[in-house]
């Protein structure tokens, strides 16, 4: 499909356009949070405990300064959500980068060489898949947290989450890459490449890999959403980002205690933002899948 045809199809689909607009504005808000946010919620100079637990503006008692109200510390929810979304996106993209790197490497090797390499890597993937991502992550993070102590863990939490979620989900990529490599390597252009005597690494990277990228793009969107959700779940359980650099999940958790005392917005606003973010990514992913490869996944 040419880029122009691709764009034409995109603009003809209102759902895709809406999802993209929502996602784009959320990303802009997250990336430019330091410039756009009304306050820096983690700068003690900018917060005032007297502003704490203000409701959103549309409720009696709300103030103009805080569109979505404030939390127990007097931080504006809008600002914390903008900063938190950045952390969530960073972890989501980082984890997917790790997954993609591991999955593509293993998938290429398994698909191209076959034989015992294939059997070994795919059994490894089966084992990995039989353990739920959250279970692996909870165990690993709990161990790290205990081993490093809460202070040291807080500094490393971001990288830990990226690594743990990344490692737990590589089989998705590996399986897709392997299946595509097995199809592509039977095609005659790969034979033609082999006939020049070029090294196998170049055949895999220069000839086969580019022809397996389309389905990877589709998986990647869905995997980013999954990784963000996993991170939110871990943070909600207290194994994720520390309170001084919260993600959407940590925000939901920290506000959860106040739900029963009536300050529902502290937890509800980040939760709604999380749902909207995930929905936008998934809708875009679905559209990509239908557009780029109607056959992919349809069999399941």
Partner 1 sequence: MMESRAAEGGPASRAVQRQETLITAKDVAVRFPMPSHFLQRHKPVLHALRGVDMAIEKGEAFCVVGESGCGKTTLGRVIMGLLEPSTGQISYDGTRIDDMGEAERRPYRRKMQMIFQNPYASLNPRMTVRQTLAESLRYLGEGMTAKQVDAKIEETMLSVGASVDWGTRMPHEFSGGQRQRISIARALITDPEFIVADEPISALDVSIQAQVLNLLTKAREERGLTYFFITHDLSVVEHFGDRVAVMYLGEVVELATVAQIFDAPQHPYTRLLLSAIPRIGGNAFKAERAPGEIPTAIDPPKGCAFASRCPLVHDRCRVENPALRPTPTGTLAACHAID
DSSP 64-117: TT-TT-B-TTS-BHHHHHHHHHHHHHHHHHHHHHHHHHHHHHHHHHHHHH-HHH
| Site membership for partner 1, residue 185 (CB under 8 A) | no
In the bound state with partner 1, the residue whose beta carbon lies nearer, of 6 and 159, is 6
Q: Compute the Cα dihedral for 8, 11, 12, 13 and give only its sign.
A: positive
Tell me, what DSSP letter sits at residue 55?
P
- Least Å distance, CB 125 to partner 1, is 20
Binding segment toward partner 1, per CB under 8 A, in 14-22, 33-41, 139-147, 182-190: 182-190
Interaction of residue 193 with partner 1, rule CB under 8 A: yes
Q: Which of 161, 33, 24, 16 is nearest to 95 (CA)?
A: 161
- Shortest reach from residue 216's CB to partner 1, in Å: 14
What is the DSSP secondary structure assignment for residue 124, as one 8-state letter?
H
Torsion sign across C-alpha atoms 233, 236, 242, 244: positive
| 60 binds partner 1 per the rule CB under 8 A | no
**Contact predicate 163/92, CB 8 Å:** no
Q: Which of 189, 201, 205, 272 binds partner 1 (CB under 8 A)?
A: 189
Q: Does 123 bind partner 1 (CB under 8 A)?
A: no
Site string (203-222) toward partner 1, x via CB under 8 A: ----x--xx-----------
Q: Report helix, strand or coil for 258.
A: coil
Quick one: 65 or 206, whose CB is closer to partner 1?
206
65 vs 202, beta carbon nearer partner 1: 202
- Positions in the binding site for partner 1 (CB under 8 A): 187-189, 191-198, 207, 210-211
């Amino acid at each position: 499909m040419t880029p122009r045809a691709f764009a034409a199809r995109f603009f003809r689909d209102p759902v895709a356009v809406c999802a993209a607009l929502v996602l784009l504005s959320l990303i802009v808000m997250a990336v430019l949070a330091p410039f756009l946010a009304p306050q820096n919620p983690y700068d003690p100079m900018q917060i005032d405990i007297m502003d704490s637990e203000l409701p959103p503006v549309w409720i009696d008692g709300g103030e103009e300064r805080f569109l979505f109200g404030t939390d127990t510390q007097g931080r504006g929810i809008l600002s914390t959500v903008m900063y938190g979304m950045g952390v969530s996106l960073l972890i989501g993209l980082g984890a997917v980068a790790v997954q993609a790197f591991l999955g593509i490497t293993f998938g290429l090797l398994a698909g191209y060489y076959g034989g015992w390499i294939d059997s070994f890597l795919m059994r490894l993937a089966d084992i990995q898949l039989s353990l739920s991502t959250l279970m692996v992550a909870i165990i690993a993070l709990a161990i790290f947290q205990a081993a490093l102590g809460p202070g040291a863990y807080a500094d490393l939490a971001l990288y830990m989450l990226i690594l743990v979620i990344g490692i737990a989900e590589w089989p998705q990529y590996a399986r897709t890459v392997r299946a595509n490599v097995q199809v592509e390597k039977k095609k005659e252009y790969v034979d033609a490449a082999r006939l020049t005597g070029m090294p196998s690494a170049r055949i895999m990277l220069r000839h086969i890999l580019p022809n397996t990228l389309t389905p990877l793009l589709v998986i990647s969107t869905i995997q980013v959403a999954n990784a963000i959700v996993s991170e939110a779940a871990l943070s909600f359980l207290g194994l994720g980002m520390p309170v001084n650099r919260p993600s959407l999940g940590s925000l939901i958790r920290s506000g959860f205690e106040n739900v029963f005392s009536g300050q529902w917005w502290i937890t509800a606003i980040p939760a709604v933002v999380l749902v909207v973010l995930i929905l936008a990514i998934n809708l875009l992913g679905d559209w990509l899948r239908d557009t780029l490869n109607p056959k992919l996944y349809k069999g399941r």
